[in-house]
A and B are shown apart, each in its own frame.
Chain A
Amino acid sequence: MSNESMHRVIKLKRYEQPPEGYYENFLREFHYRQRAELLNPSLVMLMKERLSLWMSEFRVPTLAYAGVATIALIISAAIIKAPSSSISGDSPAAYAASYTQTPVTIQKMEPVSLRLDSSMGSGDSLPTSYLLQAHPASHELPLSF
């Protein structure tokens, strides 16, 4: 089949038409659907509408912007000034001279005994956690609770 005859055959699909009276009813159905959409708006549309309504009510007066800007300026100026006033003295040398710190003293230390306590040797009570146990872990039976 040549390209030209293919084109002619496909063109025949133009004859596939909707049922009689379809075009006449189409506009009526379009109006009906539009009205139905207005009566039963979707959730997204409702949310949009409510959000836009809320936004329209939420109006900030123009002077408020000027007020906020002034407050911001005052706060930033205070932050910039604050570190210089907290340091006593005018120069770093004076600041260093004024700096004092109490020295750390270490008292006399007693020797610590690492010998095992003889009362724990029988195994009746569990050894405290910082003492090594008699058997290595690999000697224990599996699932022994």
Chain B
Amino acid sequence: MTEELETPKNNDHELVAKTQGGDPQAFDELVIRYTPRLYGLVYNMTSNHEDTNDLLQDIFAKAYRSICSFRGKSSFTTWMHSISVNMTINFLKKRKRRQHPSLNDPDSSIENDPDFIAATSQGDPLSEISIHELQKKLNAAMMKLSHDHRVVVTMFDIQGIPHAAIAKILGISEGTVRSRLFYAHRQLQNTLHEFKRQ
């Protein structure tokens, strides 16, 4: 169910060491490698493409500036995710005033996804709705969550990061991660049920 967070760890170390040694191309390689997964993390927290792009640029700039302070106590992936989560939460706190997600078109392969077919089949509260509607409803439901809850849902449910890795990134216990997930799921269920009634 969950993809491993630490997959490219060994190679990361090499690239990090090269960057610390003054090779900027090694950092470019890290940017290419981490952009898609960090995009997912930041986008699902902000629900806005432009904000995600700006934030990602800032995240990589910060990582580049402080890469010399990275001592390898945690994996580079954990380190990058921590920077991303902290910067995104700070950004969201500042952005409270406006809340208009830009809905990017979902990948067309969603229609073949068994989970999508199951979700839009009969007997499900989300049946009879289009992809775009589903996207809108999910985003709206996500935006109703607190930042702390949204980040665990994004990492666990969307990105498939295991509880232990989430705990490391956020600097909290695994029990707290599970508890936040439980409450976040309950809130999401209530919100999506409200949509069904409407």
- Interface positions of A (Cβ within 8 A of B): 1, 3, 5-19, 22-23, 26-27, 29-30, 33-34, 37
Contacts and interface: CB of A to CB of B under 8 A. Distances in A.
Contacts of A13: 44, 135, 138-139, 142, 158
Contact of A26 (B56, B115, B188): B56
Contacts of B116: 12, 15
B75 to A, nearest CB: 22
B162 interface: no
Interface stretch (B7-15, B30-38, B171-179): B30-38
B158 A14 contact: yes
B52 to A, nearest CB: 8
For this complex, into which size category does the number of interface residues on chain B fall?
A: 35 or more
A89 B99 CA distance: 87
A1 B116 CA distance: 15
A23 B192 CA distance: 32
B180 to A, nearest CB: 14
9 contacts: A1-B192, A9-B134, A11-B158, A16-B106, A18-B39, A27-B28, A27-B35, A33-B61, A34-B64
Given A9-B115, A9-B126, A1 B193 contact: yes
B40 A14 contact: yes
Contacts of A3: 185
Contacts of B110: 12, 15
Contacts of A11: 115, 157-158, 160
B123 to A, nearest CB: 10
A23 B35 CA distance: 7
Contacts of B113: 12, 15
B153 A34 contact: no
Given A5-B124, A10-B153, A30 B188 contact: no
B158 A1 contact: no
A12 B119 contact: yes
B118 interface: yes
A51 to B, nearest CB: 18
B106 A30 contact: no
A9 B62 CA distance: 34
A19 B104 contact: yes
Given A1-B193, A30-B57, A33-B57, A9 B138 contact: yes
A34 B61 contact: yes
Contacts of B159: 14
A22 B105 CA distance: 13
